[in-house]
Structure 1
Amino acid sequence: MNLIRPDKIIVGMIHVDALPGTPNHQLSVCEIARKAALEAKLYHDEGVDAIMIENMHDTPYLNKNADHEITAAMTVIAHEVKNAIRLPVGIQILAGANKQALAVANAVDLDFIRAEGFVFSHIADEGMMNSCAGELLRYRKNIGADKVKILTDIKKKHSSHALTADVSLLETAKAAEFFLSDGVIITGNSTGEAVEPSDLAGLKSEIKLPVIIGSGISNENIYTYWNQADVFVVGSHFKLDGHWTKGVDPGRVQKFMRTVHSLRQ
């Protein structure tokens, strides 16, 4: 998966339903997988470039961990999504369960994972989250998953960064690059919240890594960010009423991708 293209990359988010063992779990794993595959097909048919699956309905999350049943379920779901489409597919397992995500990606031949807590420490709403780059990249090497790209959140949403208040976003990005990240993800303060444009100013010219916007992208603001990033992860905006808890709205996806096509031209 080439993350730097002249026509940019749009990644559609699939927030899979609550998985076994979590407080909001209701559907069977097979039902969840079928629903995820249908959303993936919808994204594919509307011209979205890549897919990412995430267990966002599994609140409250464990800190840098996910139980075995979550990893097993995400493997089944990822397999169904991968077989349903011919697009790059990635995965994130919350919260910060980066090894589990990498194991799933390797087993199912996914293209990338989204990793939290790659460099520096921060306090997430799950608690203290320390850096994992050295451990995670060694794990990738040990299981033979070198082809799986690791895209890394920096100064991530739903977190306090008081511990690293003296380290700028740019310096954090440079640290991620030095620690062999495959791309840096910039977000707003919470899910669906837009990135501060000033946070992106000059970032692409200072690092060689792909710059990825990981929250708050919409049909109304994509113009603002188009030249400041390489990849745009779109979740909430693609959902009914623009809320991440709801299903994908084909009309919203169509309208957004029409805007993207006009920007590409």
Structure 2
Amino acid sequence: MIRAVRLRELFGAERPVIGSIALLPLPGSPRFGGELEPVVEAALEDASALESGGVDGLSVENIGDAPYFKTEAPPETVASIGRVLAELRRQTDLPLGVNVLRNCARASLGLAQAFGGGFIRVNVLTEAAMTDQGLIEGVAAELMRARRLLGADRIAVFADVHVKHAVPLVGRPIRESALDLIERGLADAVVVSGSRTGQAPKKEDLEAVRGLGEVVIGSGLTAQNVGDLFPRADGAIVATTFREGGNLARRVDPARVKEFMEEVRRIRAG
């Protein structure tokens, strides 16, 4: 039987904070700047700022590649992310995660396996969601079989429930959807977010899924609301609040990371 990967084991911290590395546009995407090297350099600089600020892990996303493919990113996208991961692995020993947008879970898994990643994030693991890419269906059956085939059971799957920038195709209670993610989709952790990037999840949503398994806040956590929301979860992925001026399009601000992590340490201390 597959044993769920626990957050404490993966990150070596209670309630880990994962800093998001939002990649600049990659080759082939509409806004690509023409050279890959600046993308790699920006990712490495952001990773350094996040690590120096005290985060427990890093998650790489091709956020600059909008509009996204539904489930199969082209080879140039996957190869470019691989280049970034290779350089990150040389620079840091922090646990690395991958999320190839929008729901390219198989590519994320392959990249994590090849470059020593510890987890992937999957936007639609079970059920179906109406997104800005159209209808996306769950990929749990294919992904979990691939994970076993690759001998990659050590790679945790963080799965969004009622994912942001989307609406569920069928209006089920969030607790029921989360339970299916864990019991039938075999997710190692459930990600709860607000309706859009940078928006915090509802407290009632966090409370609804609490206790079912490990819960990760996936958006909108700030130094101002972390004291209220973070104790209701087992970890968090943080992106926008770590950027200069709280703007995802700008670079990671080490001072904002340190301020946030000071609040986190106070929460951990009880």
Q: Give the structure 2 partner of residue 200 of structure 1.
A: 206
The one-letter code matched in structure 2 to 1:138 is: R
In the alignment, structure 1 residue 119 sits paired with structure 2 residue 126: yes
Q: Aligned ranges for residues 250-261 of structure 1 at < 5 Å?
A: 250-261=254-265
| Structure 1 unmatched runs, 5+ | none
Q: Deviations over 1:197-235 (max 9, x none)?
A: 011114222x1x210000000000001112210011110
Aligned residues: 261
SS in 1 for 2:263: helix
- Report the CA distance shift for 1:41/1:171 in structure 2 as closer, same or farther (over 3 A): same
Q: Which amino acid aligns with 1:69?
A: E
* 1:1-265 matches, cutoff 5 A: 2-4=6-8, 7-161=14-168, 163-165=169-171, 167-178=172-183, 179-205=185-211, 207=212, 209-265=213-269
Q: Which amino acid aligns with 1:197?
A: K
- Conserved 8 A contact 1:3-1:210: yes
In the alignment, the residues of structure 1 paired with residue 7 and residue 230 of structure 2 have an alpha-carbon distance, to the nearest angstrom, of 14
Residue pair 2:6, 2:188 contacting (<8 A) in 1 also: no
CA distance in 1, matches of 2:123, 2:260: 27
1:17–1:164: structure 2 CA closer, same or farther, 3 Å change rule?
same
Gaps of 5+ in 2: none
Residue 50 of structure 1 contacts residue 89 of structure 1 at CA under 8 Å; is this kept in 2? Answer: yes
Deviation at 1:123, TM superposition (A): 0.6
Q: Partner amino acid for 1:159?
A: A
Corresponding letter in the other structure for 2:92: I
Letter in 1 for 2:200: A
Indicate the SS of the match to 1:211: strand
Q: Cα distance, 1:241 vs. partner?
A: 1.0
Of the structure 1 ranges 32-41 and 191-200, higher mean CA displacement relative to structure 2 is found in: 32-41
**In structure 1, C-alpha distance between the alignment counterparts of 2:204 and 2:177, rounded to whole Å:** 15
Q: Measure, in 1, the Cα distance between the counterparts of 2:156 and 2:37.
A: 27
